[in-house]
Amino acid sequence: MELLENGFWNWRSVWALNVCRAVQNRELFGETAIYSMKFLEFTPLDSINLFLNDLNLGESTIKGSLEAFSCKHTGMDRKLSLSLEHEILDYLSQSADSDPSSPAEYLSTRSSRRTLIYLVLTLGHIYPDYDFSAVQAHLFFREEEWDNFKQILDTYLFEAAKEWFLFNGGSLLESLSKAIDEVIKLEECEIYSYNPDFDGNPSTEKGAIWSFNFFFYNRKLKRIVSFRCCCLSNLAVDGFPDEEMEGDDEDEEDDFFMNMDM
């Protein structure tokens, strides 16, 4: 695919800044036109969402969500997408001749540019309160194989899978893949992952242990399914009770030694 080289996005972060600022440009298109991805409701995703919405595992809680979006635009949405593409073309025209490392080769086709636009817009939709103006292009990469996605889920959702089996029977991964397949046809999908650093991660909050964001993109259906999930420490969310208790113990010890007759 033109966007990628060795599985990674290869154009400069300064270009990504321009694109993402265009996504956030409220003055040109108004507040309601920022996110041009239409949310789609699909029943097959409901059981997975209900299970992963707030899964308490004792010392940690998993919060996950599967959401489907249409990439078909009309009216103001189409204008916003065209604006983003113009941002790309403007950057390419300015950098292609002067910069040997410019992304012209990877963004030479309209389909490649559209793919990036859809991914950025989907991020803006699922994290509406987050400022993506600092997003860098290298944070996206393509998962070449389904096995990569499967391995990540087997690792991070190991405990969740045991809970799923206990209450629902069967495999969580099989149930999840079946639900996604019904919505977007997995065999026809490209799988992308969003991997920001700590400061640029919208999933990062107090007590976050890990998080991931995957996107399943079907060009034929013009549809994207996002799968985001994070694990939060219940100890941190509750206000670090262990540290507070340790502090109380230290105060008691200080009082004890102060009252001793040395």
CA distances from 132 to 26, 94, 112, 202 (A): 13, 23, 20, 9
Phi-psi region of 135 (alpha: psi -120 to 50; beta: other; left: phi over 0): beta
At the topology level of CATH, where does 4-235 sit? Protein Transport Mog1p; Chain A (3.40.1000)
Q: Which of 16, 20, 69, 65 is nearest to 45 (CA)?
A: 65
pTM: 0.71
Helix (H, G, I), strand (E, B) or coil at 181: helix
Q: What percent of the chain has pLDDT over 70?
A: 57
Q: Residues 190-244: pLDDT tens digits?
A: 999 987 766 667 766 667 899 999 999 999 999 999 999 999 999 875 555 444 4
C-alpha 16, offset from chain centre: 16
Q: With helix as H, strand as E and coil as C, how does 122-173 read? A: HHHHHCCCCCHHHCCHHHEEEECCHHHHHHHHHHHCHHHHHHHHHHHCCCHH
| Domain assignments of the chain as residue spans, ordered by start | 4-235
Mean pLDDT of the chain: 74
pLDDT at 243: 47
Spans of the chain, pLDDT less than 50: 1-35, 133-136, 138, 241-249, 252-253, 256-257, 260-262
pLDDT attached to residue 175:
97
